[in-house]
Amino acid sequence: MWINFVKLRLFCCLLAVLMVVVLVVNVTQVEYLDRETASATFIDSGGQFVSSQVIRISRNPYCGYERQILSSRERLEEDSLLAALQWQEPDVGPVPFLKSTDPSSSYFVILNSAAFFRVGSQLEVLVHVQDFQRKPKKYGGDYLQARIHSPKLQAGAVGRVVDYQNGFYKVFFTLLWPGQVKVSISLVHPSEGIRVLQYLQEKKPDRVYFKSLFRSGRISETTECNVCLPGSLPLCNFTDLYTGEPWFCFKPKKLPCSSRINHFKGGYLKGLLTATENAFFQSGVNIKMPINSSGPDWVTVIPRNIKGDLPDPGIEPRSPALQVDSLASEPPETNSLELSQGLGTFPSGYYYKDQWRPRRFKMRQFNDPDNITECLQRKVVYLFGDSTIRQWFEYLTTFVPDLVEFNLGSPKNVGPFLAVDQKHNILLKYRCHGPPIRFTTVFSSDLRYVANELNGIVGGKNTVVAIAVWSHFSTFPLEVYIRRLRNIRRAVVQLLDRSPKTVVVIRTANVQELGPEISLFNSDWYNFQLDTILRKMFSGVGVYLVDAWEMTLAHYLPHKLHPDEVIVKNQVDMFLSFVCPLET
């Protein structure tokens, strides 16, 4: 028995030594890749704790997002969103520049032309695109923008574009005011350029790169950061522990990951396109260029209460060269991305005398600072997001003299910012969203995710939240943005569940000026996709929507990432109308 006992002890000792050896080998391998890589623990949608350690990041454009733990409902939603956003790409192979879409030789015609229309009538416009050899194109995929406007009345509204995938497009307008109404159609990008933008979105998500400064004592190092990083160098894992939002930096050679002190935009990659591809992105040639009418480009609209019969609007098109027979039968496919904007009331509103008029409710005009003060009295207002909602903070603190900004020593144009009206008990806060964000310098302690900030708000009838998150996601695969909105939406639902009287407002994306370089990083086509995702994901959640997309596209002023004050005022007036609606 004693001999057996000794053998058992010897076996146990050998087994223990073997386990220690295996453990040491594994730990050594992990430390070889990154001693400082943190294990990210977060809660999935089912309420389960999940631990994931990212050891190596490949150059896969979806890196960090292939490993999402989604419920069946979330997976179904994501698949549905991605399917709806599939741009109908023509199967034509490489196309030379001369055979690409030429806006100057393309044209449109008003189909249901008449002597006059009533307010509320539908106007249909047919667009026919041609190439630089003035030959009709046989496929679609161009990105068009359309609006109607009356310059003397400072009135405007957007139109809905349908792509028939054969070189023809139909644009539908609702005539919303009386007077002479002009039609304007623009080519934002030809289909050949859209194919390039798709490639960049899927294969070059790191074309905007970020950096962080690490410092300890007199030693400092700067390394590159992003949602995903190429190669197998050691990484610092800054994945958020609560939302699971991934973020990584290359590990400094001499400093620990915990020594990171800030985040900033590193720059934009150059030389992304070939000479052939560059030809599809030329200012004054094929970027946001007008398409002219082959006949009259305006109609006369009369008030709907004037008596009399309208002439038959179903007359033939004005241009005999237009091959309308190609539209005699319903086409097999239309562009689902364009159709998606038709959800709900479309258009959502229009300008008249430079004032935005939503079609679903009566918007108030806050033309006096005292009106805003009365509305926000005893309220705490949180503004979360990018610089387009920071404009709201800047407008309010400039227009309302009693709202005094409190100097927090924050970097200019970055924040966080705080304004107080002690007399009327108003607190206004702005904070930027978490990475990716292309600001100059954000301190590490100020890198906060909107979802986490929402989870820290008690809420109630005197709490107002406004969110704008879109512009800094334009270079990434759509899964990156869907994940961010999913986390924000979950936090919004929880906030409204515990405090139903909280007012939550979402500001949508907006159009902007485009040139050859900006188009590759922040094209309206990218932001149109983000805008569509945002509308779908927050539909039915119980939030209010400020339609910045229509409010910038319908206006006569040039498109800007940061719209001019008259547009910002209309946005803020709409926001405040949700906070303090007209009594009915």
**For residue 3, is pLDDT > 80?**
no
Pick from 451, 349, 453, 392: nearest CA to 576: 392
Return the pLDDT at 318.
32
**For residue 44, is pLDDT > 60?**
no
**Residue 325: burial class (beta carbons within 10 Å; 0-12, 13-18, 19+):** exposed
Return the pLDDT at 45.
29
pLDDT in tens, 527-584: 999 999 999 999 999 999 999 999 999 999 999 999 999 999 999 999 999 999 987 5
Pick from 81, 164, 89, 136: nearest CA to 535: 81
Whole-model pTM: value is: 0.84
Region 383-411 average pLDDT: 94
**For residue 526, is pLDDT > 70?**
yes
**Which DSSP string do the residues of 283-312 spell out, in sequence order?**
BTTTBSEEEEESS--EEEEE-TTS-SPPPP
**Confidence tier at 41 by pLDDT (50, 70, 90):** very low
Instruction: Please list, in sequence order, all residues whose beta carbon lies within 8 angstroms of the beta carbon of residue 525, skipping any fewer than 6 positions away.
Output: 143, 188, 189, 194, 197
Q: How far apart are CA 474 and CA 561, in angstroms?
A: 13
Do 575 and 392 contact (CB within 8 A), yes or no? yes
Return the pLDDT at 325.
32
Return the pLDDT at 13.
61
Region 96-122 average pLDDT: 94
pLDDT in tens, 460-484: 999 999 999 999 999 999 999 999 9
Region 325-352 average pLDDT: 53
**Confidence tier at 409 by pLDDT (50, 70, 90):** confident
Tokens of 453: 């900030």
Return the pLDDT at 305.
80
CA 512 centroid distance within chain: 12
Return the pLDDT at 113.
78
Instruction: Please list, in sequence order, all residues whose beta carbon lies within 8 angstroms of the beta carbon of residue 452, skipping any fewer than 6 positions away.
Output: 240, 242, 243, 491
Return the pLDDT at 64.
55
List strands edge to edge, sheet with 262-268: 235-237, 248-250, 219-226, 208-216, 262-268, 442-443
Return the pLDDT at 54.
33
What is the C-alpha radius of gyration for the chain, rounded to an integer number of angstroms?
A: 28
**Amino acid identity, position 66:** E
Return the pLDDT at 307.
57
- The answer to whether the Cα torsion of 249, 253, 256, 258 is positive or negative is negative
Return the pLDDT at 324.
33
Q: How far apart are CA 226 and CA 218, in angstroms?
A: 26
Q: Phi/psi of residue 367, each to 5°?
A: -90, -10
**For residue 502, is pLDDT > 70?**
yes
